[in-house]
Amino acid sequence: MNIFDANVKEDNQYLFECAELKEREREFLDNSQIERLINGKDINDFCKVLQETFYAGYIDQIKKENSLSGLIFSESKNNLDYLEKRLKPVHRSLLKFFLLDTDLHNVKLIMKARILGKDLSGLFLPDHYSYENLYKYLEGENAEIDNLTKKIVDYGKSLMSQQDVPFRIVELKLEAYYLTLLADIIRPVKSIALQNLLKHRIDILNIKNVYRSKIVNEKYSYDDFLYDGGFLDREFFKKFEKESVDYFAQAIEKTEYTRMIMQGTHMFYSEQTFSSFESNEDIFILKYFDSIKYTTANLEKIVGFFLKKRIERRNLNIIFTGVIYNLNKERIKHRIPVYD
């Protein structure tokens, strides 16, 4: 199959929404603006570039709070409000689809913060709740957290309560739970494109976990982290359990996931970080939805637009954090998905 063939069906009930969102594509940052944001020396440089963009209205708030949280909260709410009003009732379960990735990252982060006894709020991805509220809920206090996020935190707490369970296994089990929730959200929508996207993401997660296992020499059985349901089945990965990372790389080079994995591996060896895997996964998702840009009206065009919006907000947060803490510019660039 063509890996970027989204296989969508036209739906004239979304004709107006798709035309409207086509016009709104001018809201997205271009590569030149992203480059200039990254290279800014301080918050004033950052805001000077942002003043030329769709996000100009947030400049005063950013400077006052020295934070991007207000922008991210507001834009996330605006996007979800739009979707709640415009999607057919049968498709509204997808509102949760736009929150799960952030939830998984943040729940793993606060659990790690609790174990280490450190404030990791600088790595937090603000969206529809704050670091403080999520941490309060983890500690058993009342907090303004949505029910889906509570389910993920509660599941994580149940894993942590088990004796002698390494945190890496907790992370892997949380990923598996996340995939189950994602499948439950996508299934009733009956979109082949979204079902295939889930299969791709399962493949990507399996590949990343195999690479990490081999590169950092983890001793866990592959049965501890391989997930079913992708285009590459469990047996494809199991046969590499005793093989070298180079042998596995040669096999992946024959699949459609080459770019993401090869670049991610290179960055690990050169920068000692797995962040490039995440940015290349975002590129994969953006390209996947690019394949439907010549269609006229369908649910997938709407989903693709707002996924791109979510990725852009996350990129802005990464760049802003890098500027505030004067992080290495090259490392920031490696975490930002930019594609032609």
* Range 22-28 average pLDDT: 96
- Alpha carbon 193 to chain centroid, angstroms: 18
Q: What's the number of domains the chain is made of?
A: 1
Q: How confident is the model at residue 272 (pLDDT cuts 50, 70, 90)?
A: low
34-38, 265-269, 278-282, 294-298: range with lowest mean pLDDT:
265-269
Per the CB < 8 A criterion, the answer to whether 232 and 255 are in contact is: yes
What is the mean pLDDT of the segment spanning 29-37?
A: 94
Q: Tell whether 250 is covered by a domain.
A: yes
With respect to residue 7, please indicate whether it lies within any of the assigned structural domains.
no
Per the domain annotation, does 312 fall within a domain?
yes
| Domain membership flag for residue 162 | yes
Q: Is 282:337 a contact under the CB 8 Å cutoff?
A: yes
Q: What is the residue whose two structure tokens read 């659990």?
A: 111
DSSP track, 155-168: HHHHHHTSTT--HH
Question: For residue 4, is it within any domain?
Answer: no
What local confidence, expressed as pLDDT, does residue 217 receive? 84
291 falls in which pLDDT band (50, 70, 90)?
confident
In a domain, 68, yes or no: yes
pLDDT (tens digit per residue) in 321-334: 999 988 888 888 87
pLDDT digits (tens, 9 = 90+) for 93-122: 999 998 898 999 999 999 999 999 999 988
Percent of the chain scoring above 70 in pLDDT: 91
Query: Dihedral sign, CA of 285, 287, 293, 295?
Result: negative
pLDDT tens-digit map of 185-220: 999 999 999 999 999 999 989 988 898 888 888 888
Q: The domain containing residue 63 runs over which residues? A: 12-334
Q: What is the model's pLDDT at position 281? A: 82
pLDDT band at 46; cut points 50, 70, 90: very high
Residue 75 is assigned to a structural domain of this protein: yes
Interatomic CA distance for residues 296 and 11, integer angstroms: 8
Query: 23-32, 68-77, 119-128, 221-230 — which is least confidently predicted?
Result: 119-128
Tell me the pLDDT tens digit for each residue of 128-171.
Answer: 889 999 999 999 999 988 888 999 999 999 998 887 888 999 99
Residue 318 near residue 336 (C-beta atoms within 8 A)? yes
Radius of gyration for the alpha carbons in the chain, expressed in angstroms and rounded: 20
Does some domain include residue 340? Answer: no
Residues 6+ apart with CB under 8 A from 248: 210, 211, 214, 240
Tens-digit pLDDT profile for residues 299-317: 999 999 999 999 999 999 9
Q: Quick one: pLDDT band at residue 1, thresholds 50, 70, 90? A: very low
**194 alpha carbon, distance to own chain's centre:** 15
Contact 298, 316 (CB under 8 A): no
What is residue 255's three-state secondary structure? coil
